[in-house]
Amino acid sequence: MKRPTRSATATAATHARGALAALLCACASTGCASAPAPATGLEVVESREPTGSPVLAAEDLEPQRPRTERWCDADDPRRTWTVRVEATHEGAARTDDRGTRVTVRGPDGGIGLLRQTDATDAAESRFTPPLSLAPARLAPGEEHRGESTVHAVTNGIGDRDPGNAMRTARIAALDRVRTPLGTFEAVRVDALLVMKLPHASLRRETSTWVRPGTGPVAVRSDERILVMGVFPRNRAATAVMVPGGTP
């Protein structure tokens, strides 16, 4: 078997890292540690079974209406950022300082991820068909599943070998939470994203607290990345929405 050259290996690693960077960008919410101070973080005051949870609309999970949001790191509230949602001819673009995520509404009323672009190096991940993020309606007891082919594009050059992405989501609990926005009930949605590229893989477990009519107000995630089988990276953090956005 012919061994890959050093330059080919470096190129593959660049594609893999670029694709994962694009996949991880534009998420205003990544996290995993609960912060005790309600003024700056996330506190779950009470958690109940999701049987009494309201049914969530697709836009509760993935807001499409133009708006501006302010978020902060629950572990370091000094680190804040702005998220802007803008209408496009394709659907909606969600942008922060790390990049842009473009979503589209399907004929069934669900919302899917079309592509993501990393602001640092313009690395892009394209999903064919769009990776389904939210069904038209998500009810307690249901599990939503989406699958897609991932094409990595770095410096305008696409990876010849596409990868695969799979995402599941379900309503896990009806919680009473305390965040910088106040104390209120929110629906906790647990999701699992698994993406496999020829030279990289990602697994992200996410809990998102959704306030019907407002959208996500807190996100806690734990992600594990492996590039070329030798560059592991684990990351966990919590992000919460803070006052100051424009509805």
Give this prediction's pTM. 0.83
Residue 25 pLDDT exceeds 70: no
Closest among 37, 42, 72 to 244, alpha carbons compared: 72
57-112 pLDDT tens trace = 999 999 999 999 999 999 898 999 999 999 999 999 999 988 999 999 999 999 99
Residues 113/103, Cβ–Cβ less than 8 Å: yes
The 3-state DSSP class for residue 24 equals helix
Measuring CA to CA, how many Å separate 168 from each of 79, 132, 204, 208, 214? 30, 9, 11, 13, 22
* pLDDT tens per residue, range 189-222: 999 999 998 888 899 999 999 999 899 999 999 9
* φ, ψ at 191 (rounded to 5°): -135, 150
CA 65 to chain centre: 18
Half-sphere exposure of 189 (CA within 13 A, CB side): 32
User: Percentage of the chain with pLDDT > 70?
Assistant: 81
Beta-carbon contacts of 136 under 8 Å, excluding residues fewer than 6 positions away, are 57, 58, 108, 109, 110
Residue 218: the pLDDT is 97
Mean pLDDT of 3-20: 46
Instruction: List, in sequence order, every residue forming a beta bridge with 150; answer none if it has no partner.
Output: 127, 163
Ramachandran region of residue 133, left (φ > 0), alpha (ψ -120 to 50) or beta? alpha
